[in-house]
């Protein structure tokens, strides 16, 4: 798997006329070689040139963390008093090319600034130039992992909708913590977020769950996801789902609005076919909400790509005319947010396939009514 990925990266480097690729902290590195850099001040950096074996430069005492992948990359440890920036730069001096360098877009600026100082005549571009399209089109085994991640959070959503997770009388933060524990129990290595927003707090799309106590007769919006744990140091894949429940019988006005939202979400999923412009899928959901005069409450884009990173290309947003490709995986998450009153969102992860859109999340889309 990693060998073919390296081949494809080198092809992309040639196409983009990039001579070297440098990857440090962030998702590009685990995606490419199955190793995640420690996000600390000591530099870890994979150096990929077009003509030499890729080399992972990292602190010597962290070498035991590396899972060897012969034929994919070599390892060069650096001692506590050595200058790792110099080691990386020397590798670039030695390689044939040297014009344009692509650097991981999560790399700390202290390292980029030092490298630019040491290599003043190079042109610097983002790693997205090289790996962006490769990461956005999932390989079949990546699709399987994203589907497994989605099934994991589907089961957590089902527990929420089935009333197994007590709500009334608990704080948002307590419910968030329980969602987090359940995400881990479903095979995730870490929780990326567990938004719980009750009543008027649901009008804030990225609400931070706090000590607000959940009461009877209000909406509770839950948006949660994590990153799976995979064997042999392989990268984990992300999940992300939003479902809403109501503590008691909802008012007719909310039910009507929620029906329109569910309709908009379903129509947008159906529109996510190969070749459709990303913006057009956003427009489908937005115009359904507009029919009910609700589009002014839909405050954000329709969705984001997902993979080893929770948010990545492609973005389903007005203005993005890029056509969807088979293998793209993204969220479809319309919502409505009425300040000081309430809000709702429905979110699934959807794979664009040659056979049509496939929703990886299968948890019930209806508004669940829970009495406890």
| Complex with Zn ion: residue 223 or 309, whichever CB lies closer | 223
Residue among 25, 22, 51 at smallest CA distance from 38:
25
Place of tokens 């991640």: 149
Residue 223 sits in the site that holds Zn ion (CB under 5 A):
yes
Work out how close the CB of 159 gets to Zn ion at its nearest, in angstroms, rounded to a whole number.
17
| Complex with Zn ion: residue 242 or 359, whichever CB lies closer | 242
Work out how close the CB of 262 gets to Zn ion at its nearest, in angstroms, rounded to a whole number.
16
Q: Note whether 194 and 224 are within 8 A (CB).
A: yes
| Complex with Zn ion: residue 23 or 261, whichever CB lies closer | 261
Enclosing H/E stretch for 75: strand 74-78
Work out how close the CB of 35 gets to Zn ion at its nearest, in angstroms, rounded to a whole number.
27
| Complex with Zn ion: residue 16 or 317, whichever CB lies closer | 317
Work out how close the CB of 331 gets to Zn ion at its nearest, in angstroms, rounded to a whole number.
4
Q: Segment contacting Zn ion (CB under 5 A): 95-103, 117-125, 339-347, 359-367? A: 339-347
Residue 96 in tokens: 């044939």
**Residue 47, phi then psi, degrees to nearest 5:** -110, 115
Place of tokens 């070498």: 63
Work out how close the CB of 241 gets to Zn ion at its nearest, in angstroms, rounded to a whole number.
7
Query: Distance between CA 23 and CA 40 in Å, rounded?
Result: 14
Query: What would the DSSP string read from start to end of 95-141?
Result: SS--SEEEE-TTS-HHHHHHHHHHSTT-EEEETHHHHHHHHHS--HH
Residue 331 sits in the site that holds Zn ion (CB under 5 A):
yes
Work out how close the CB of 54 gets to Zn ion at its nearest, in angstroms, rounded to a whole number.
32
Residue 240 sits in the site that holds Zn ion (CB under 5 A):
yes
Using N-to-C axis directions, what is the helix angle for 172-185 and 140-161, rounded to 10°? Answer: 140
| Complex with Zn ion: residue 214 or 222, whichever CB lies closer | 222
Rounded alpha-carbon distances, angstroms, from residue 81 to 42, 69, 90, 113: 11, 27, 17, 20
Site string for Zn ion, 267-286 (x = CB under 5 A): --------------------
Q: Segment contacting Zn ion (CB under 5 A): 153-161, 238-246, 265-273, 278-286? A: 238-246
List residues near Zn ion by CB under 5 A. 223, 240, 242, 331, 347
């Amino acid at each position: 798997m990693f060998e073919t990925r390296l081949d494809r990266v080198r092809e992309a480097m040639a196409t983009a006329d990039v001579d070297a690729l440098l990857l440090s902290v962030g998702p590009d590195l685990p995606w490419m070689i199955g190793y995640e850099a420690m996000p600390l001040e000591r530099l870890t950096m994979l150096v990929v040139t077009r003509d030499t074996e890729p080399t992972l430069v990292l602190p010597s005492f962290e070498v035991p963390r590396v899972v060897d992948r012969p034929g994919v990359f070599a390892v060069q440890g650096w001692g506590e008093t050595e200058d790792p920036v110099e080691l990386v730069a020397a590798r670039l001096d030695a390689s044939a090319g040297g014009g344009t360098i692509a650097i991981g877009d999560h790399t700390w600026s202290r390292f980029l600034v030092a490298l630019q100082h040491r290599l003043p005549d190079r042109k610097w571009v983002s790693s997205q130039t090289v790996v962006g399209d490769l990461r956005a089109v999932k390989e079949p085994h990546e699709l399987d992992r994203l589907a497994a991640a989605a099934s994991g959070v589907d089961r957590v959503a089902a527990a929420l909708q089935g009333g197994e997770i007590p709500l009334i009388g608990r704080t948002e933060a307590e419910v968030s913590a329980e969602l987090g524990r359940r995400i881990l129990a479903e095979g995730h290595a870490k929780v990326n977020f567990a938004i719980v927003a009750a009543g008027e707090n649901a009008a804030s799309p990225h609400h931070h769950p706090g000590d607000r106590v959940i009461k009877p007769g209000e909406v509770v919006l839950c948006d949660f996801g994590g990153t799976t744990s995979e064997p042999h140091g392989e990268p984990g894949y992300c999940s992300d789902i939003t479902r809403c429940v109501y503590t008691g019988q909802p008012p007719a006005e909310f039910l009507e609005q929620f029906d329109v939202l569910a309709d908009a979400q379903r129509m947008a999923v159906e529109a996510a076919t190969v070749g459709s412009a990303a913006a057009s899928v956003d427009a489908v959901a937005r115009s359904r909400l507009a029919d009910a005069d609700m589009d002014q409450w839909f405050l954000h884009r329709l969705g984001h790509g997902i993979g080893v990173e929770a948010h990545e290309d492609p973005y389903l947003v007005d203005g993005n005319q890029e056509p969807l490709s088979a293998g793209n995986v993204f969220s479809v998450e319309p919502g409505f947010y009425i300040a000081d009153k309430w809000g709702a969102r429905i979110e699934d992860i959807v794979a664009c396939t040659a056979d049509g859109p496939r929703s990886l999340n299968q948890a019930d889309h209806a508004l669940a009514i829970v009495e406890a």
